[in-house]
Amino acid sequence: MKIGLSLSPGGLLLPYHMGVLHQLKHENVIDSSTLVAGSSAGSIAAMAHGCDVHPYQVLEGTIEISETCQKKYGRAHGKLLQQLEHHMERLVGQKEFDHLQQQSSKIGIAYTQVFPKHQSYLQTSFASRDDLFRAVRYSCMFPFYTADSPWLMDTSVSSTRQLLPRLMMDGLFSVPWDRFGCPLLEDMSTDVDRTIAVSVLPQHVLKWCANGMGSFPKHNCISPSLAGQEANNDYWMINLIRMAVFPSSRQELTRLFDSGGRDAEMWCRQEERRHRQKEKRKRQRRRILRMETANAEKRVGV
């Protein structure tokens, strides 16, 4: 079965995604051929995966952005986009972009056009490194947070594009709200058999798995709710939201990275148990079938 990863937005909680990706690679669950798509912070993680940027480099980049915002501005809102542009230039060079272009798999960067008409995009091909960076900037453009404006303006003109400027916004708004910005991999026309959603917020907060319903079945989710009882602690949840929108310390962001790794590891162990249980049920069904066949043959013989 071929899986794909769909990564949620998350602001400065980006290290959580990188911890998940790092652990899933270690577990041989994903590799360079795995489809990874994301919105906002998830789009940065998807870009890093596709360009083979090491997760620890992205963690260090997030720490530097957080420290710069705190020391230089005393805040993160309005300053994140320019910091993101600087670190994309530094971490994703032409060599890394060429690596992405040479891969048979795709990455998906989700963003939203709000003018001249509302339209959702999931971009999977990139003509140049600048084109990739542009898509990630669109995906991370949360109104009045990542920059001091409600949108980014695209004034480029091509043979297939109208003369009117396009106003672009965060990938969070590209899918229904109950998906929390996790892209629809079905829109990418791929052979993915199973979509695993990775969210920086607990599943129960998003109500993904309430009564077995929601956008994603429980066994197709990796999120902080797998970490244990702390996910039910109100203070812990408030602190998680704080870390998403305000600068955090190196220690906090490193712990967040490690938390993503632990949640991914726990998901892998749960998958192994599910697989064993599934195989056990198959063996039981085969045994029952053999018994029924033998009994039927005996009756015919009588």
- As annotated, the active-site residues are 40, 154
Largest CA distance in the chain: 91
CA-based angle 227:230:235, to the nearest 5?
Answer: 140
Task: Report the alpha-carbon distance of residue 123 to residue 96 in Å, rounded.
Answer: 18
Task: Report the alpha-carbon distance of residue 226 to residue 20 in Å, rounded.
Answer: 12
Using the structure block, give the residue that is written with the tokens 């339209």: 119
Task: Report the alpha-carbon distance of residue 218 to residue 196 in Å, rounded.
Answer: 10
H helix intervals, 125-210: 129-139, 203-206
CA-based angle 139:143:144, to the nearest 5?
Answer: 130
Q: Is 152 in a helix, a strand, or coil?
A: strand
Task: Report the alpha-carbon distance of residue 117 to residue 167 in Å, rounded.
Answer: 9
CB atoms within 10 A of CB 121: 19
Using the structure block, give the residue that is written with the tokens 């809102």: 77
Cα-only R_g, the chain: 22
Task: Report the alpha-carbon distance of residue 231 to residue 237 in Å, rounded.
Answer: 7
130: left (phi over 0), alpha (psi -120 to 50) or beta: alpha
